[in-house]
Amino acid sequence: MWSMFIDTHYKNIVIALYKDDNIMDIVNKEVKKDHSVFIMPLLEELLNKNKITVHDLKEIYVCKGPGSFTGIRLCVTIAKTLAYTLNVPIKSLTSIELASIDNNDSYLVVHENNGVFIAKRDTMDKIKYYSNSAYQEFKTTHKVFENLNPAYEKIPNYLKNKPAENPHSVKPLYIKGISGLDAN
Amino acid sequence: MKDVYILAIESSCDETSMAIVKNGHEVVSMVVNTQMDTHANYGGVVPEIASRMHAENITMVLEETLKQAKMKVSDVDAIAVTYAPGLNGSLLVGIECAKVLSLVYNKPLIAVNHLAGHIYANHIDNEMNFPLLALVVSGGHTDLILMHKDYDFHVLGRTLDDAVGECYDKVARVLGLKYPGGPNVERLAKEGQPTYKLPTIMDDGSLNMSFSGLKSAVINLVHNETQRGNEINTSNLACSFENAALGELERKTDLALSKYQVQELIIAGGVSANKHLRSIMENLANKHQIKLSVPPFKYCTDNAAMIGSAAYPLFLQKKFATHDLNASSHLDLY
């Protein structure tokens, strides 16, 4: 049974293919801008290379953020449309959870352009945003390790016991509000 | 010839919309999920909020569109999507959804310019008679376009600064009216008289237009009167503004119709919902003895049916897009 993981929460486009929960292939490409130009062609190339079609995918995994606003919208939109149209289960995980797989640090850190998202390992759903300068200060008092190479191969296993979600309700996790908003 | 069904997606601003359009002019189903009430809290469209709402709603809008049409995506012949111009983050949600549909159902992808969509809104339940003159009036555009055939756009004139719709929104703001400004200014103007003297606009003999001077004049007038402690008759000011703005559109459209022989005058874009503008254009069409075509109200504002209609000539010409399609916030049609 084939499944696919999609993640574009920061600079890299990551698409992984699994067969019976074992990783079979992965693209991990850093793109400076215009991610939308590359994601679908890379996804299709990966399917072709492995001689399967999109209809062989029986489960979809997606990283829903936090991270770049546009980035997480792209991968979530693609993943939920895939799951909805293929009528297969979809499971999401946060970028913090992604960083937590296969490491034992007490603080988990995820980068975005102007700062980082941090959560404690034992309360991974409490994610806070720090600007780059606030993060520098945080680092002087806390021991942090930045997991720049998440264990993509372990994602199916990590999500094994999580329930599948309704594709309609999968949405990006922004954490950050919208700057300059002045409701009247 | 076999019937052609196109599933169209529009997410360029604050409406998430999908439609299935048959042969370019018959709307089988259309869903418009508007975010207007949300944005009204902020006095205008907040791009990041718009993008977030598109991403939340997109598959639900798809489901509803298919349900209303009693069709499956596999029943359609192509997937069309607005790729420009508009809010980048918003456009991208529709574009990525369209690419996935194109991949899963193995259907060609058609990239449609939003402005072409507004023009082709006149093709819904209707035929377009070439050559024609199109007046495109919206929050981003004020253009006079001559068309001899499908997808043949010649700009005869355009605004040199603000779009007329943008001008309406700014004037609504200084008059203390809620977003969306256009319909509210129109409503207020109907109750007033054109008592305020505002500058007449550009009279250089060209078909170009200008609205920033008028906008500034209204803002300055409100500012000065407030400073003097004078009360402003907002309905009279709205009426004076509307007369000046629509008068500019009338003069330039009249001039274009005198210079170019056309079969038909069409108006397109959000401001074409303005009833006063419609009656002015009807008079002009009568004067020049040509047909006037105005889209039904529901196809004036942003909607996917017009995108499906504009995609049809591209489908016939096999002008398909590839899956590296990107959004473009400022791409011109012409």
- Digit-by-digit pLDDT tens for chain B (334 residues) are 799 999 999 999 989 999 999 999 999 999 999 998 888 888 778 899 999 999 999 999 999 999 999 999 999 999 999 999 999 999 999 999 999 999 999 999 999 999 999 999 999 999 999 999 999 999 888 999 999 999 999 999 999 999 999 999 999 999 999 888 899 999 999 999 999 999 877 678 899 999 999 999 999 999 999 999 999 999 999 999 999 999 999 999 999 999 999 999 999 999 999 999 999 999 999 999 999 999 998 999 899 999 999 999 999 999 999 999 999 987 777 5
Q: Mutation test of the interface with chain B: which of A35, A38, A40, A42, choosing the one with the most B Cβ atoms within 10 A?
A: A40
Say if the Cβ atoms of B101 and A39 lie within 8 Å: no
| Structure confidence at residue B202 (pLDDT) | 67
Which tokens go with B237? Answer: 């000011």
Distance CA B88, CA B91 (A): 5
Say if the Cβ atoms of B42 and A54 lie within 8 Å: no
| Structure confidence at residue B181 (pLDDT) | 87
Give yes or no: residues B282 and B154 share one domain. Answer: yes
| Structure confidence at residue B48 (pLDDT) | 93
Q: Are B290 and B262 in contact (CB under 8 A)?
A: yes
pLDDT over threshold 60, residue A184: no
Q: Are B216 and B201 in contact (CB under 8 A)?
A: no
| Structure confidence at residue B244 (pLDDT) | 95
Which tokens go with A140? Answer: 């002087």
pLDDT over threshold 70, residue A181: no
Say if the Cβ atoms of B103 and A54 lie within 8 Å: yes
| Structure confidence at residue A8 (pLDDT) | 97
Q: What is the pLDDT averaged over residues A130-146?
A: 91
Indicate the average pLDDT of chain A: 94
Q: Is residue B45 part of a domain?
A: yes
pLDDT over threshold 60, residue A78: yes
Give yes or no: residues B209 and B114 share one domain. Answer: no
Residue A154 DSSP label: G
Q: B285, B61, B108, B248: which is closest to B168 by C-alpha?
A: B248
Q: B213, B209, B215, B185: which is closest to B276 by C-alpha?
A: B185
Distances (CA, A) of A61 to A9, A40, B17, B95, B211: 13, 16, 26, 20, 50
Give the residue from chain A lying closest to B89, CA to CA: A70
Give yes or no: residues B287 and B161 share one domain. Answer: yes
Report chain B residues whose CB lies below 8 A from the CB of A62. none
Q: Is residue B285 part of a domain?
A: yes
Q: What is the pTM of this model?
A: 0.94
Secondary-structure percent of chain A, ordered helix, strand, coil, rounded to 5: 35, 30, 35
Task: Say which residue the tokens 């199109």 belong to.
Answer: B134
Residues of chain A that touch chain B, judged by Cβ-Cβ distance less than 8 Å? 34, 36-41, 44, 54-55, 69-70, 73-74, 76-78, 80-82, 84-86, 167-168, 171-172, 174, 178, 181-184
| Structure confidence at residue B41 (pLDDT) | 82
Give the residue, A145 or A20, on which the prediction is more confident.
A20
| Structure confidence at residue B139 (pLDDT) | 87
Q: Alpha-carbon Rg of chain B, whole angstroms? A: 20
| Structure confidence at residue B40 (pLDDT) | 83
pLDDT over threshold 50, residue A84: yes
Q: Is residue B327 part of a domain?
A: no
Of B52, B60, B92, the CB nearest to A74: B92
Residue % of chain A over a pLDDT of 90:
86
Give the residue, B199 or A172, on which the prediction is more confident.
A172
Give yes or no: residues B182 and B105 share one domain. Answer: no
| Structure confidence at residue A183 (pLDDT) | 42
Distance CA A170, CA B60 (A): 11
Q: Is residue B326 part of a domain?
A: no
Q: Is residue B9 part of a domain?
A: yes
Residue % of chain A over a pLDDT of 70:
97
| Structure confidence at residue B1 (pLDDT) | 79
Say if the Cβ atoms of B41 and A183 lie within 8 Å: yes
| Structure confidence at residue B178 (pLDDT) | 86
Report chain A residues whose CB lies below 8 A from the CB of B322. 41
Distances (CA, A) of B186 to B10, B168, B183, B245: 26, 9, 5, 12
Q: Are B138 and B271 in contact (CB under 8 A)?
A: yes
Q: Is residue B107 part of a domain?
A: yes
Give yes or no: residues B185 and B87 share one domain. Answer: no
When divided into structural domains, chain B yields a total of 2
Give yes or no: residues B286 and B309 share one domain. Answer: no
Find the domain containing B89 and state its range: 5-120+299-316
Say if the Cβ atoms of A182 and B101 lie within 8 Å: no
**A2-95+150-169 to CATH, choices 3.90.550.10, 3.30.420.40, 3.40.1260.10, 3.90.850.10:** 3.30.420.40
Whether B58 contacts chain A with CB within 8 A: yes
Q: Is residue B13 part of a domain?
A: yes
Q: Is residue B44 part of a domain?
A: yes
Give yes or no: residues B185 and B101 share one domain. Answer: no
Q: Are B121 and B39 in contact (CB under 8 A)?
A: no
Give yes or no: residues B240 and B275 share one domain. Answer: yes
Give yes or no: residues B238 and B275 share one domain. Answer: yes
Give the residue from chain A lying closest to B43, CA to CA: A184
pLDDT over threshold 60, residue A182: no
Give yes or no: residues B70 and B141 share one domain. Answer: no
> For the domain that residue B116 is a member of, what is the CATH number?
3.30.420.40
Task: Say which residue the tokens 């508009």 belong to.
Answer: B86
Report chain B residues whose CB lies below 8 A from the CB of A40. 96, 99-100, 103, 323-324
Which tokens go with A104? Answer: 């034992």
Give yes or no: residues B146 and B54 share one domain. Answer: no
Give yes or no: residues B20 and B150 share one domain. Answer: no
